[in-house]
Amino acid sequence: MPERILQPLPRAFWALVASQHGVVARAQMLALGFSSSAIQRRIASGRLHPVRSGVYAVGRPGLTREGRWMAAILSCGGPAALSHSSAGVFRQIGEERAGVIEISVPAHANPKGADDLVIHRRAALERDLDRHLGIPVTSPVLTLIDLATFLPPHRLERAVNKADKLDLIDPTSLRLALDERKGQPGVPALRTLLDRHTFVLTDSELERRFMRIARAVGLPVPITQADVNGYRVDFFWPDLGLVVETDGLRYHRTPAQQARDRRRDQAHTAAGLTPLRFTHAQIRWEPAYAEAVLARVARRLPGR
């Protein structure tokens, strides 16, 4: 008799379970035509294993991390997505908060809570919903904004760098996206970080500020915008054999730009010169650091 009642499950069911990392919601089973009694019989027979309110693991109770995330999302019902630290871990740009899964839901939603769930209600969640590996997750922009609400600056900088490296979003596009989200928690901290490291001085301001640093080190006035070894360089001391280049963008250097920079530095080194690089942001906001580095390099130059 039980064998007749527990008939083989339809293909649509198995396809759904596979796409959801081994879990299924009660509401989804009802939508596929299962009755409440059929679901209960499968729980009793060990074919379904309750893992959260209205969510079951299929076949065996053990779940992967992705399965646990998906079960948490399904337990919230309706539109829901991994967010904050959980989205950061899923996107490989952050670290998980121990013992909790963070989920974002629409402002009007009223999901059932659990001790290990942190629920964030927010307006207009739909525009920031992504799906990766079958799992709903907040967009890279919103994930970084959320991380900025609790990460210290050095860890937030690491997350932005990782997002850039993984081609999730580059800092220039991220900075532009923040202009549409004024007033949102996390945006001020993220904007401050990005403005500092994607900041570009004008040629005249760059020269004026760097000259001040060079004078503090005791260096003579350099030649600016000189042609050296086939390249236009920012600052050149021919008597010292020193070349200083400045990079406008600290974060986003394409492979082609990086290759050109290496060829420039290699050409100068092969010619017996000492190449040195600073970012515009270092010259603007970290002049003491730039001065200390320049002084250490200058002390060992043959001309000194």
92 and 7: one domain?
no
Q: What is the pLDDT of residue 74?
A: 95
My answer on whether 175 and 135 are in the same domain is yes
Residues 117 and 167 in one domain: yes
> Which residues in the chain land under pLDDT 50?
1-5
| Phi and psi angles of residue 303, each rounded to the nearest 5 degrees, phi first | -70, -10
Q: Is residue 304 part of a domain?
A: no
Listed in sequence order, the residues at least 6 apart from 188 whose beta carbon sits closer than 8 Å to its beta carbon are none
So what's the pLDDT on residue 42? 92
25/103 same-domain check: no
User: Does residue 215 share a domain with residue 190?
Assistant: no
Residue 215 belongs to domain spanning: 203-299
Residue 240 within any structural domain of the chain:
yes
pTM over 0.85: no
pLDDT score recorded for residue 96:
80
Asked if residue 63 belongs to a domain, the reply is: no
Q: How many domains does the chain have?
A: 3
Last residue of a domain, one of 180, 197, 214: 197
Sheet bearing 23-25, strands edge to edge: 23-25, 55-58, 48-52
Q: Is residue 118, in this structure, part of any structural domain at all? A: yes
Residue 195 has what pLDDT? 81
Claim to verify: residue 265 and residue 182 sit in the same structural domain: no
pLDDT of residue 294: 96
Whether residue 172 is found in the same domain as residue 273: no
**DSSP code string of the chain:** -HHHHSPPPPHHHHHHHHHTTTEEEHHHHHHTT--HHHHHHHHHTTSEEEEETTEEEESSS---HHHHHHHHHHHH-SS-EE-HHHHHHHTTSS-PPTT-EEEEEETT--PPP-TTEEEEEETTGGGGEEEETTEEEE-HHHHHHHHTTTS-HHHHHHHHHHHHHTTS--HHHHHHHHTT-TTSTTHHHHHHHHHHHS----HHHHHHHHHHHHHHHTPPPPEEEEEETTEEEEEEETTTTEEEEEES-SS---HHHHHHHHHHHHHHHHTT-EEEEEEHHHHHH-HHHHHHHHHHHHHTSTT-
Residues 237 and 292 in one domain: yes
What integer pLDDT is reported at residue 274 of this predicted model?
A: 95
